[in-house]
């Protein structure tokens, strides 16, 4: 899922302090003009390895150990050994043969697409995540329609650079000062293309897969019975603009594919607001249907497009739009730093009246200019979206193209370029929208959201004490759950495998025997608790284990995706699903009560997603220069997010106390 964590440093081309807005000029039409073609490394990326079956079995046993009693562990070992020597061997051989016959891709790519597209649950909360962008500190650029215009232009500059092979290749630099340089690019330019990735490794610079980028724009997920499909219109010239449930197709590229001038785009958005102010909010907001259970939406869409006019508008103007721009009204809420939950909840799922969740990318812009990205997840993971998100923020911060003082080109009456989408609504569709609204409202009303900002744990503190930020926060989640709910549960942290061709994600299992040992030791009564030095040594051991698991996952040596692919192979080829998948150990591990995601970004204000199981916790977290933060979502009466977030603060306190005490003791001994 979206919960892919990629720490990376991107290189950006410098821009002139005064930017020309000549519509056909290179500085306006392209965000970047890379010396290396965008897909320069794609051909030479290594293939995602299939782990050895015996290693997968060992890693599975290690992951379930902290969740099981000794008796359960013994039974699980027998089931795993039977799997390893029996059905697992045959399925592994079949998977290897299939992989060898499809060298253009990875063994996980198609099964992962199928998993997403075949799931019938609604997209909001279950799949579509939320990234909230930092506000522009300059009021003249934060105003809603101004910010929307600048975001649209920057999005198009990104898209045109990608299409022209001018967007910088995605590369993870171990030390950007040494490799994110002109010299590195000169060496890469002369490297044989078939070996370019391996030449880059010599600089400790790791190219990443960019196959998902082509689906960022012009893509829509179409509901079908049993399995959805992705459709794409990469040559589209318009965006879908939504306002109070009404939909408008707004041209943003001219007939030759060039980005329209800033004044023209600003004028067309202002024309949308003018048109919308002249009528009531949509009585039948069709976007609500995209929040439905997928088979229900498929049936309702099939009925809706049986009307030829509706079919034409939906396919040519909605599905084919480059992306969606949702201009929310005052009544939808504005950002309040002291009380963020209402707006974040609205942006994550909300009433769905002013959303089209099926679009690959939706820019959500509140009345006060607060901006977020809500994205459909089946087509890709966080790597591509975060790159787009970061580039978008940086470009709008460097030198926006319009401000509140900008003169716009009037577009009132220009129905060729600003097209209200007036569908023909019958009683069946009216009833379907009302039903979908009620179901979505009930789900969203049952969602709780709790936030924590903890100032005593931050990037400088981690550096000062030699700590791994991610390891410490994941350890805190385990401690928080243990002390609040007296147990250990299936825990999920995603890691990108984009260092490989068509890599997706691998699962990290943060609940380990090391984290369990530390939690049990720390929660002992004071008289029997180990001294701070021993506890600190246990923290370091947790960090080492966590680091090793992260390395294995990133290198395609986890076990979750391998086991997933083996089961998928059995199902695809009509073979019995092995008994291992029916064991309590497998069920407990994959009941991801704690599901976590972090995205490191200077542009990110907040990130959130729904729990992946009804009684679970969806935890979006980050560690910044001045605090560690977490947003926890739960379903009311299923899991208690308030108890967890309070326990998390206590866990942070306890772990920080151990670190400080052990550090003081170490200095005294010296």
Tokens found for residue 237: 């010239």
Which residues, including other chains, have CB under 8 Å from residue 85's CB and lie 6 or more apart?
A: none
Catalytic residue (choose from 246, 377, 481, 546): 377
pLDDT tens by residue, 257-310: 999 999 999 999 999 999 999 999 999 999 999 999 999 999 999 999 999 999
Q: Three-class SS of residue 251?
A: strand
Contact 92, 566 (CB under 8 A): yes
Global confidence as pTM: 0.93
Calpha distance 450→649 (Å, rounded):
12
Task: Indicate if the pLDDT at residue 54 is higher than 50.
Answer: yes
pLDDT digits (tens, 9 = 90+) for 612-667: 999 999 999 999 888 999 999 999 999 999 999 999 999 999 999 999 998 776 66
**Res. 122: pLDDT tops 50:** yes
CB atoms within 10 A of CB 404: 12
Domain boundaries, the chain: 53-114+448-669, 120-168+212-445, 171-207
The pLDDT, as a whole number, for residue 670 is: 56
Q: pLDDT class for 599, splitting at 50, 70, 90? A: confident
Rounded distance, CA 370 to CA 346, Å?
Answer: 12
Evaluate whether 240 touches 359 at the Cβ level (below 8 Å): yes
Model pLDDT for residues 432-455, shown as the tens digit of each residue? 999 999 999 999 999 999 999 999
Average the pLDDT over 502-507 and give the result. Answer: 96
pLDDT band of residue 8 (cuts 50, 70, 90) is very low
For residue 389, what are the contacts with CB-CB under 8 A and spacing of at least 6?
Answer: 131, 133, 373, 601, 603, 604
User: pLDDT digit string (tens) for 302-348?
Assistant: 999 999 999 999 999 999 999 999 999 999 989 988 899 999 999 99
Candidates 598, 493, 467; CA nearest to 550 is: 493
Contact 642, 450 (CB under 8 A): yes
3-state secondary structure 531-599: CHHHHHHHHHHHHHHHHHHHHHHHCCCCCHHHHHHHHHHHHHCCCCCCHHHHCHHHHHHHCCCEEEEEC
pLDDT level of residue 600 (50, 70, 90 thresholds): confident
Nearest to 496 by CA among 69, 5, 104, 126: 5
User: Domain 120-168+212-445 falls in which CATH fold?
Assistant: Chloramphenicol Acetyltransferase (3.30.559)
Using CA atoms, how far apart are residues 259 and 52, in angstroms rounded to an integer? 50
User: Please, what is the angle between helix 53-64 and helix 87-100, to 10°?
Assistant: 120
DSSP strand pairing (617-623 vs 594-598): parallel
User: Is the model's pLDDT at 18 over the cut of 70?
Assistant: no
Torsion of CA 60, 123, 241, 280, to 10 degrees: -150
pLDDT > 90 in the chain, percent: 91
- Whether 53-114+448-669 shares its CATH topology with 120-168+212-445 is answered yes
**β-strands 361-365, 324-327: how paired?**
parallel
Written as six digits, the tokens of 334 are 């504005």
> Is 339 annotated in the active site?
no
Residues 636, 448: Cα–Cα separation, whole Å: 6
Does the domain at 53-114+448-669 match CATH 3.30.70.1560? Answer given as no
Cβ 598 vs Cβ 5: under 8 Å: yes
Q: 3-class SS at 526?
A: helix
> Which of 24-28, 205-209, 261-265 shows the lowest mean pLDDT across its residues?
24-28
CB-based burial, 521-531: b 16+ in 10 Å, e otherwise:
ebeeeeeeeee
Closest CA relative to residue 508, chosen from 497, 521, 522, 519:
497
For residue 164, the tally of other CB atoms under 10 A from its CB is 16
Q: What confidence score (pLDDT) does residue 58 get? A: 98
Q: Are 342 and 351 in contact (CB under 8 A)?
A: no
pLDDT, position 669: 57
Rounded Cα distance, 550 and 432, in Å: 45
Q: What is the pLDDT of residue 667?
A: 62
pLDDT of residue 3: 39
Q: What pLDDT was estimated at residue 23?
A: 73
Distance (Å, whole) CA 269 – CA 417: 11
- Which pLDDT belongs to residue 663? 79
CA separation for the pair 110, 293 (Å, rounded): 23
Sorting pLDDT into bands at 50, 70 and 90, what band is 25?
A: confident
Q: And the tokens for 218?
A: 């012009």
What is the pLDDT averaged over residues 63-82?
Answer: 97
**Mean pLDDT value across residues 5-34:** 58
Tens of pLDDT, residue by residue over 539-565, are 999 999 999 999 999 999 999 999 999
In the predicted model, is pLDDT for residue 7 greater than 60?
A: no
């Amino acid at each position: 899922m979206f919960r892919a964590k990629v720490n990376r440093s991107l290189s950006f081309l410098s821009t002139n302090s005064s930017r020309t807005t000549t519509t056909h000029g290179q500085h306006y039409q392209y965000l970047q003009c890379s010396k290396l073609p965008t897909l320069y490394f794609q051909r030479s990326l290594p293939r995602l390895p299939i782990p050895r079956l015996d290693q997968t079995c060992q890693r599975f046993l290690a992951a379930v150990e902290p969740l099981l009693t000794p008796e359960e562990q013994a039974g699980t070992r027998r089931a795993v050994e039977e799997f390893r020597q029996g059905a697992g061997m045959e399925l592994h051989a079949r998977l290897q043969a299939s992989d060898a016959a499809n060298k253009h891709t990875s063994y996980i790519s198609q099964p992962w697409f199928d998993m997403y597209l075949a799931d019938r649950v609604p997209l909001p909360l279950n799949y579509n995540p939320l990234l909230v962008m930092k506000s522009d500190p300059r009021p003249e650029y934060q105003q809603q329609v101004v910010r929307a215009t600048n975001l649209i232009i920057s999005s198009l500059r990104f898209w045109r650079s990608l299409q022209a092979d001018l967007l910088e290749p995605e590369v993870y630099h171990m030390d950007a000062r040494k490799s994110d340089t002109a010299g590195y690019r000169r060496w890469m330019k002369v490297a044989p293309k078939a070996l370019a990735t391996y030449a880059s490794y010599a600089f400790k610079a790791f190219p990443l897969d960019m196959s998902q980028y082509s689906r960022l724009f012009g893509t829509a997920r179409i509901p079908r019975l049993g399995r959805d499909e992705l459709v794409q219109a990469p040559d589209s010239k318009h965006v879908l603009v939504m306002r109070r449930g009404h939909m408008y197709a707004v041209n943003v590229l001219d007939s030759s594919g060039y980005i329209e001038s800033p004044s023209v785009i600003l004028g067309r958005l202002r024309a949308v607001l003018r048109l919308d102010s002249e009528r009531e909010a949509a009585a039948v907001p069709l976007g609500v249907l995209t929040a439905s259970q997928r088979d229900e939406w498929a049936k309702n869409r099939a009925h809706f497009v049986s009307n030829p006019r509706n079919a034409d508008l939906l396919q040519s103007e909605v599905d084919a739009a480059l992306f969606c721009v949702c201009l929310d009204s005052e009544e939808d809420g504005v950002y309040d730093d002291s009380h963020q939950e209402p707006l974040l909840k609205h942006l994550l799922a909300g009433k769905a009246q002013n959303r089209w969740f099926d679009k690959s990318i939706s820019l959500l812009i509140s009345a006060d200019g607060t901006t977020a990205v809500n994205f459909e997840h089946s087509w890709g993971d966080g790597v591509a979206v975060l790159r787009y998100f970061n580039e978008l923020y940086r470009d709008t911060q460097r030198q926006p193209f319009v401000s509140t003082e900008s003169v716009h080109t009037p577009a009132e009456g220009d129905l060729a370029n600003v097209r209200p989408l007036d569908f023909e609504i019958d009683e069946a569709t009216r009833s379907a929208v009302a039903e979908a609204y009620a179901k979505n409202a009930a789900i969203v009303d049952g969602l709780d959201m709790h936030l924590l900002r903890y100032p005593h744990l931050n990037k400088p503190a981690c550096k000062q004490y030699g700590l791994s930020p991610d390891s410490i926060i994941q350890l805190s989640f385990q401690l928080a759950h243990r002390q609040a709910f007296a147990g250990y549960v299936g825990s999920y942290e995603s890691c990108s495998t984009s260092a490989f061709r068509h890599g997706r994600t691998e699962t990290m299992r943060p609940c380990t025997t090391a984290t369990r040992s530390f939690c049990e030791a720390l929660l002992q009564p004071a008289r029997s608790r180990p001294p701070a030095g021993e506890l600190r040594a246990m923290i370091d051991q947790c960090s080492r284990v966590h680091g090793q698991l992260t390395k294995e996952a990133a290198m395609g040596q986890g076990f979750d995706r391998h086991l997933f692919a083996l089961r998928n192979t059995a199902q695809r080829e009509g073979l019995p699903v092995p008994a291992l998948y029916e064991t309590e150990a497998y069920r407990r591990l994959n009941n991801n009560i704690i599901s976590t995601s972090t995205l490191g970004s200077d542009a990110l204000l907040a990130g959130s997603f729904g729990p992946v199981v009804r009684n679970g916790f969806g935890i979006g977290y980050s560690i910044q220069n001045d605090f560690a933060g977490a947003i926890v979502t739960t379903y009311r009466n299923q899991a208690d997010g308030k108890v967890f977030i309070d326990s998390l603060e206590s866990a942070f306190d306890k772990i920080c106390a151990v670190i400080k005490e052990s550090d003081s003791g170490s200095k005294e001994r010296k």
